[in-house]
Amino acid sequence: MGSQILPFLDMRRVDQYFLNTQKVLEGDGRDPSVVMEVFPNADGILCGIKEVLSFLSQVLPNGAEVWALEEGATMARKEVVLRIHTVYRTFGSYETTLLGTLAHGSGWITAARACLDAAGEIPVISFGARHVHPAVSDRMEYAALIAGCAGCSTPAGAALAGQEATGTMPHTLMLIYGDTISAAQAFDTHMPDSVPRIVLVDTFCDEAEESVRVAQAMAGRLWGVRLDTPSELGGVTPQLVWRVRKALDDTGFEGVGILVSGGLTPERISEFMRLGCPIAGFGVGSAISGASPIDFTADLKKVDRRPIAKRGRKVGIQDNPRLKRMYE
Q: From 3.30.70.260, 3.40.50.150, 3.20.20.110, 3.20.140.10, which CATH number describes the 7-106+292-327 domain?
A: 3.20.140.10
- Residues 288, 105 contacting (CB under 8 angstroms): no
Q: Does domain 120-289 have CATH number 3.20.20.70?
A: yes
Task: Choose among 216, 213, 221, 153: nearest CA to 188.
Answer: 221
Domains 7-106+292-327 and 120-289 share a fold: no
Question: Could you state, in order of their start, the residue ranges of all structural domains in the chain?
Answer: 7-106+292-327, 120-289
**How far apart (Å, rounded) are the C-alpha atoms in residues 219 and 225?**
14
Q: Which residues of the chain have pLDDT under 70?
A: 1-6, 328
Alpha helices in 33-94 (DSSP H): 49-59
What pLDDT score was predicted for residue 8? Answer: 73
What pLDDT score was predicted for residue 1? Answer: 29
What pLDDT score was predicted for residue 327? Answer: 72
**How far apart (Å, rounded) are the C-alpha atoms in residues 170 and 283?**
13
- Residues 287, 126 contacting (CB under 8 angstroms): no
SS3 of residue 195 by DSSP: coil
What pLDDT score was predicted for residue 2? Answer: 35
What pLDDT score was predicted for residue 213? Answer: 96
What pLDDT score was predicted for residue 6? Answer: 60
What pLDDT score was predicted for residue 3? Answer: 37
**How far apart (Å, rounded) are the C-alpha atoms in residues 249 and 184?**
20
Alpha helices in the chain (DSSP H): 16-28, 49-59, 95-119, 134-147, 155-160, 171-177, 180-190, 207-217, 238-250, 266-274, 286-289
Q: For the chain, give me the number of helices (H) and strands (E)?
A: 11, 14
Does the predicted model carry a pTM greater than 0.85? Answer: yes
Q: Environment class of residue 98 by beta-carbon count within 10 Å: exposed (0-12), middle (13-18) or buried (19+)?
A: buried
What pLDDT score was predicted for residue 328? Answer: 59
Q: Give CA separation, 11 vs 6, 114, 128, 281, in Å.
A: 10, 35, 29, 43
